Amino acid sequence: MAPLAESFAAAAAIVARVAAGRSLSAEMERSATEPSETRAAITDLCYGTLRRYGRSQALVRELSDRAQATDPRVEALLWCAFYALESGRYAEHTVVDQAARACVLISQHRAKAYVNALLRNYLRSKQALEARLRAQPEASHWHPVWWIDEVRSAYPADWERVLAAGNTHSPMTLRVNARRTSVEGYAALLAAQGIETRRIGPSALLLGRPLPVARLPGFADGLASVQDAGAQRAATLLDLHDGQRVLDACAAPGGKSAHLLETAQLSLTALDIDAARCADIERNLARLGLSASVRVADCAAPGQWWDGVPFERILADVPCSASGIARRHPDAKWLRRAGDVERFAARQARILDALWRMLSAGGKLLYVTCSVFPGENGAVIDAFLARTADARHPPLGAAPQLLPGPEHDGFFFALLEKRS
């Protein structure tokens, strides 16, 4: 096993870059060459640290009068060390010793005494610190103040539960490929391997604990995919039938496209504006034994790719704040800004208007976000209905807003139908 100091140094470098505005997923890709055990430790440190970023920042402010003059890597190292101490995964003396040693690895020799003293001070004064942190919203809820305010305003009875869910580990749910096996059959196959599951949807199996996909029997052969149970609702809400012409307008990495094709025999076009992400769609479909027309294109610019033949069904899983899946992308909480919600809403409106022109009379469009912010959910739909005379909004038969919880992430769904 690599010393904790090495994992601290690598994680601190990643976290410092994320704090400066880089994407966590992109930064984690750069560590993909690390041995699996080391990579697991780095991943845990990065994700755990960024989930409680607001708390860790507050701890440094409370414990140090020189935080503003500290090298960003040293500051990030302290955040990682706080997470390690509070995670219970390591002995306290080990964390303090290894964090100090990590200063050398990040070429910050002079910071050893500072890091050692600050962490020891934290251990001595935890009780008094907790009382002070409870009065600081970002430190107690681990979210930016503007985000807390948005959630509290939208869900006055549930806001603390929504925020708390955003700080947890994500559930791992499988979607069973109905074209290759049954839910019951695949659950039995997993049980034979000692893998505990619970059925929570038509095609969804919730794992008792997360596992690498390499340990899932038949995964490489397309028997199942990893997909959140909330995301799996999309295919069930579109009223799909064999032979329909269907568009998945923002399709990467292809989970929803695959589910559509597993549900019915469709003529499916899957779009994404990013060529690399379109390659992901094709790989995912190939593993599952499915096929679609995958195109690199901007769904909001149909003149560049559309052949003029209307689609009977359109899935619009639009770009959004990702506030409903913040626990999967903890950097999103800190990289987003309050004005982003309005900017996303404007983009979502443009996409809706463009896609509506491609929908056949009597056709249905499902609008989806992985957001809990009303400004990019119900408000966008209300504005669209107000300006679109031939649109109607039939009831879903289920709650349009899913809030994140133990079994699923947060999603919003709105079904729109074009009058004949």
Q: 3-class DSSP state for residue 367?
A: strand
CA 58 to chain centre: 25
What is the Cα–Cα distance from 110 to 115, expressed in whole angstroms? 10
Is the peptide bond between 406 and the residue preceding it cis, with omega within 30 degrees of 0?
A: no
Give the tens place of pLDDT for each residue, 108-158.
999 999 999 999 999 999 999 999 999 999 999 999 999 999 999 999 999
CA dist 394 and 419 (Å) reads 11
pTM: 0.93
How are the residues of the chain apportioned to helix, strand and coil, as percentages rounded to the nearest 5? 50, 15, 35
Beta pairing partners, 175: 204, 225
CA distance 314 to 365: 5
Residues classed as catalytic: 370
Q: Which residues of 135-292 form beta strands (DSSP E)?
A: 173-176, 197-199, 204-207, 224-226, 245-248, 267-272
Ordered by where they begin, the domains of the chain are 4-142 (1.10.940.10), 173-226 (3.30.70.1170), 233-418 (3.40.50.150)
Taking only the tens of pLDDT, the chain with its 420 residues reads 468 999 999 999 999 999 999 999 989 987 766 666 788 899 999 999 999 999 999 999 999 876 455 789 999 999 999 999 999 999 999 999 999 999 999 999 999 999 999 999 999 999 999 999 999 999 999 999 999 999 999 999 999 999 999 999 999 999 999 999 999 999 999 999 999 999 999 999 999 999 999 999 999 999 999 999 999 999 999 999 999 999 999 999 999 999 999 999 999 999 999 999 999 999 999 999 999 999 999 999 999 999 999 999 999 999 999 999 999 999 999 999 999 999 999 999 999 999 999 999 999 999 999 999 999 999 999 999 999 999 999 999 889 999 999 999 999 999 999 998
